[in-house]
Structure formats: structure tokens, C-alpha cells
Amino acid sequence: MKIIKIFIPLIFLTCISYSKSLVNPFASSDARKGGMLVLHTSEFPKSFNLYVNNAADAALVFGLVYDSLLDIHPLTLEFIPLIADSWKVSADKKVFTFHIDRKAKWADGRPITARDVLFTYDTIMDTNNMTSVQRLFLSRFDRPEILDDYTIRFKASTVHYNNLVTLAGLNILPEHLYRGKDFNKSFNMKLPGSSGPYELTDVKEGRYYELTRRDDYWADVLPYRQGMYNFKKLRFKVIRDDKVAFEAFKKGDFDVFTDISPKRWVTETDSEKFANNWIIKQKVYNYAPRGIRGFAINMRKKIFQDIRVRKALFMLLDRKTILEKIMYNQMTPLYSYFPGLGGSKPYNEIINYNPERAKKLLREAGFTTLDKEGYLINSRGERLEFTISSVADETMEKVLTLFSDSCKKAGIKVNIDTVSWATLIKKLDNYDFDLVSIGWTGTLFPDPEQLWHSRHANEIGGSNLSGYKNKKVDSLINSLPPIFNAEQRLKIIIVIDKLIYKDVPYILFWGADYIRIFYKNCFGKPKTVFSKYGGTSDVIAYWWYEEEKVKRLREAERKKEPLPQEEVEVFYDRNVK
């Protein structure tokens, strides 16, 4: 399935407003609110404050508590009103004026005003705050100007195709609850006030966190929000061991489970609950953007500055065996840092497992002699040795074992450093690693600057983990901002991808063009399961407990009777008219 379509959104409109009758095609008028949705998470967030913790778990919670200026239509990808009920972009694409909906209010009843927007900007741009990732994007704008209580104007210092994306997605903070407090410390485990559908109401560090649906959510009056966010409570329970978590799910401790390894998908779904369809097992194929995963190579380290060493390491990862024996043929190898952009046929060199070619490259790089322990050394007596840092995971442990054995046969000593997610984040923030197993989620609006521009190579807490520097790539990235034609940008990003791929800053792993999910057979949901570009967070946005299905499931379990089977593979295009 090609997903190139997702990168051509209609986001550059100088649009003013939308019809008040705008409806959401994935939300159901049949949805009923109530019940607690219990979800699994493998790690407790170090902070719920997205602006100091740029992580997926924080982004989910933060976005449920604090609304953004605009929303994105899940089908057309056009911007639509949320906190701002209208907006205007100047002809030169440098000035962005937002008018705030007078209905928009905080949970305490106070109105959301232009001062809250200005405060959010000032907080992110304050260099005393650990907001470097968000500051990168907002640095394109001068300090905004308040025109009146409900109108604010941003002026960009430079034209950029993603400027409206940046401002539209800005989650607004309540000035009256945040001002005068330590932004880096005061809001890690609490998020005071709320403009979104949920409030963070219960946090037990290391165990669980809970959000409660607001009965007075201001945006419930908007037609677009009808039938959304239907669960009264969301509880995220922390179980770090995925085996223990899966057993807990089968016992009924979780309602939905998404931490599904290929092995689990293939070999661990023959129990009574799966066989009787009390638990539904599905692969969902839609247009969700694909991310990447691999070993990021720290090119700041002298040993990895030779491309021959990096490429040799890539050739020592036996992806074919891993995909067959460990991934059960459920994944496909990655040949790009922007999967899906160029269609299904790889345009980059296919780097396969080739230990003999790897050894030749290492000899060319100067590693020609073995020491007393049988490991390669160069003319300076420096051993070819490194450490791989990774979060504990049964599947990854098998991959690490296979890779380290392959490296050992080639004369390379590999040490494995298995750590908690919190420890890994600290290592990443300070680039304290040799190789690290890491993944990046895909994005609807790809911008290669954050991960690949040299200006971010040594930025503490940044995303350019490899310390990657390439003047040609920098130049191409610098050429992208004023290009508003998505097809033209696509062509440039493909050239960028080819250059990065040749430099081997990562040892790329594998991916899938679908999403795996297990869930109790008691939910109402869209026919497509997820929205066109959505993922598992759509469970929170669009699903609900269907009372009749809840009763039916209880009765089936009591009588030991099967329920009707549902499709194992769900294809978006087959379920829409």
C-alpha cells in the first residue's frame, strides 16, 4: 500500500473559518459515554509535561489535557477550528493571525485568551526551561503580538511550509496556573487546569496514572467533537515485563493490548479467549505514517567516524535470519529513513548480511590484526569494541545476541547494556552511548531538520542522535522551508534520504505497513477500526463500551460459548464507501 498521499495535505489555506455543522466521519452518533478503559504501558513517564519531555507517552496525556489552537481533519488533513475558531495567513506566508473561540474555557471556567497563548510561547522560548525541542520550531517566530483579548498575531522570521503546522499544534497552557512556578519541576506529575476532554486526576508513580473525562468540556458543543472521547476514565497501568503484561491482559486486567511481538502474534493466540473470539486479534492496514527503528551509531565517537566501519556493522546484522526466526515473517526490512515516501520499491542500495564483505571493509579501515583475545585492533593498538544500549525486551535481547555473535565472529567485541527507559533517556540526552536501539514514529508532515541537520548534532537533548553532519544534506534541508508544493518537497526529501542512507548513521531494522492490536470483544468502534491516518490512540478518541456487547461477552464467558468471528485483517480502503 502506498502512503505517499498523506504528505499532500491541504494545510496552506489562508482560511478563515469552517462550517459550524462540520462533523467527524470516524465518530459515531451511537457512541455512549462511560466506563473505565484500562490500558497497558511498559514505562512510567519521567514527566507528563510534553514541553520538557518530548516523548510519545507524554504527548498523549498532554494532548488530552490541553487543547491546541487548531485540530486536523482526520480524513482531509485540513486544519479545522479548536481553540481558535478562525485564522488567517498573509499572502507572503509570514503572518499568522488567530482568533480564539469565546466559548473556549479552562476547567475552572476562566476563558482561554490571547495572554495564555503568549505565555505558552514565552515559556517555551525561555532558555532556562528544558524546552529545546519545542523551542527549535518556535524559534522561527518573533514574539507574538496581542491584538485584543481573543486575537493574537505571529510573525515568522522566515517562510517555512511547516509554520502553520507548528502554530496549529501548539498546546496552550493556562497562564494563571503556571506563572511564577518552576516549569522544569512543578509540572512533571501534575497538569493543573484543563482545556481538553480529560484531566489528569490520579498518579501513583511507577504504578499507574489516570485521567477523568470532563463533563464540562467546552468543545463538546462543537459538532465535530460529537461522539469522541467516550470513556469516563482512562487508566494506564505500568508493567515493564511484556510477558507479565500479556498474561495480565488475558486475565482481564487490560481492555486493549498493543505491545505485541511477532512471536506473540503467531504463537501465543491459541488460548480459549482467542479461539472463542472473546478477545479480538486484528491487523489494521491504513495510511498511518511509518516510522523507523534501528541501531543509531554515535558518530561523535572516533571509532565510528569511518564509514567503512559503519557499513561493515550494517552488513553484520543478519536481517534475513532475524525476520524469519525472530520476527516470524511478520515484518519487512527497512531501506529508507522515510519509509513509504517513494512507493513500495526501494530506491536505496539494499545492504544485506555479508560477513566476508564486512571483514574486508574493516581491514580497509585499518583493523588488520587480532589481539590475544582474538579481537581486531588497528596500528595504534585500539580494539574494535563498543557497547549497545537498549531497553530490556525479550525480542530485542534475541536480536542483540545474534548481532553480537555475528560481530564476535568478525573480530569485534560487543558489550550489551540493558537499561530502563528512564536511564536510556538520560543517555540519549547526553549522547552517552556507542550504539543505541531506538525507534522514531512517523509523521504526517515530515521535516528532516530535527534529526538530520548538523546544527543539531551536539544539541543537548536533541534528536540528531548520531551526530550526523553532511553539508549537502544541510543545504537540501535549508532549501525546503519556502517550498509549499508537496510534490517538489517529496523529490528533495528522497534525495536527502539517499544521501543519509549512503552515510549509514543507523543500522536500520525492519517495519510493518499495518498495526497489530488485541482487545476485549465489547467495544463499539469505526468500521475501519482506526481512522485513515490514525493509530492506537484512536481507541481513546473514537471507541466506546457498547452495552449490548459487554453483556454478550459476559454471557459467552459464563457459558463458555464462542462469539461471532471478526476480520483478522482490516483494510481501510475496503471499509469505506
**pLDDT interval class at 11 (50, 70, 90):** very low
Helical ranges in 204-303 per DSSP H: 242-250, 262-267, 272-275
Sheet holding 84-89, edge to edge: 84-89, 95-100, 151-155, 145-148
State how far the Cα of 413 lies from the Cα of 403, in Å rounded to an integer. 11
Distances from the Cα of 28 to the Cαs of 77, 201, 228, in angstroms? 19, 27, 8
Per-residue pLDDT at 21:
59
Per-residue pLDDT at 538:
98
% of the chain surpassing 70 pLDDT = 96
Query: What does the pLDDT average to over 481-487?
Result: 92
Residue 13 confidence (pLDDT) above 60: no
Query: What does the pLDDT average to over 477-490?
Result: 94
Report DSSP state, residue 563. Answer: P
Residue 291 confidence (pLDDT) above 80: yes
* DSSP states of 204-215: ETTTEEEEEE-T
Per-residue pLDDT at 1:
27
Query: What does the pLDDT average to over 192-220?
Result: 98
Per-residue pLDDT at 20:
55
Distances from the Cα of 93 to the Cαs of 154, 162, 164, 293, 382, in angstroms? 11, 11, 9, 35, 54
- Hunting for cell 519545542 — which residue is that? 134
Residue 364 confidence (pLDDT) above 50: yes
Query: What does the pLDDT average to over 559-563?
Result: 98
Query: What does the pLDDT average to over 11-36?
Result: 75
State how far the Cα of 461 lies from the Cα of 413, in Å rounded to an integer. 29
Give per-residue pLDDT as tens, 140-178.
999 999 999 999 999 999 999 999 999 999 999 999 999
Total Cβ atoms within 10 A of residue 13: 12
The cell for 540 is 481513546
* DSSP states of 214-225: -TT-GGGGSGGG
Per-residue pLDDT at 18:
54
Residue 15 confidence (pLDDT) above 90: no
Per-residue pLDDT at 394:
86
- How is the chain split into domains, by residue range? 4-32+63-178, 239-287+514-575, 292-511
CB-count exposure of residue 372 (10 Å: 0-12, 13-18, 19+): exposed
Per-residue pLDDT at 104:
98
Per-residue pLDDT at 462:
86
Per-residue pLDDT at 194:
98
Report DSSP state, residue 104. Answer: -
Per-residue pLDDT at 132:
87
Phi, psi (deg, nearest 5) at residue 274: -75, -45
Give per-residue pLDDT as tens, 224-274.
999 999 999 999 999 998 899 999 999 999 999 998 999 999 999 999 999
Query: What does the pLDDT average to over 74-79?
Result: 93
Which residues in 392-414 are b (16+ Cβ under 10 Å) and which e?
A: ebeebebbbebbbebbeebbbbb
Q: Are 73 and 82 in contact (CB under 8 A)?
A: no
CB-count exposure of residue 291 (10 Å: 0-12, 13-18, 19+): middle
Per-residue pLDDT at 9:
40
Residue 222 confidence (pLDDT) above 80: yes
Closest listed residue to residue 541, CA positions, set 197, 186, 269: 197
Residue 5 confidence (pLDDT) above 50: no
- Hunting for cell 476547567 — which residue is that? 107
Per-residue pLDDT at 346:
83
User: In CATH terms, is domain 292-511 a member of 3.40.50.720?
Assistant: no
Question: CA geometry: angle at 329 spanning 323 and 330, to 5°?
Answer: 105
Output the pTM of the full model: 0.91
Residue 14 confidence (pLDDT) above 70: no
**pLDDT interval class at 345 (50, 70, 90):** confident
Mention the CATH class of domain 4-32+63-178: alpha beta
Query: What does the pLDDT average to over 535-558?
Result: 97
Three-state SS letters, 459-495: CCCCCCCCCCCCHHHHHHHHHCCCCCCHHHHHHHHHH
Question: CA geometry: angle at 505 spanning 502 and 506, to 5°?
Answer: 105
Residue 10 confidence (pLDDT) above 50: no
Residue 19 confidence (pLDDT) above 80: no
* DSSP states of 161-177: TTHHHHHHT-BPP-HHH
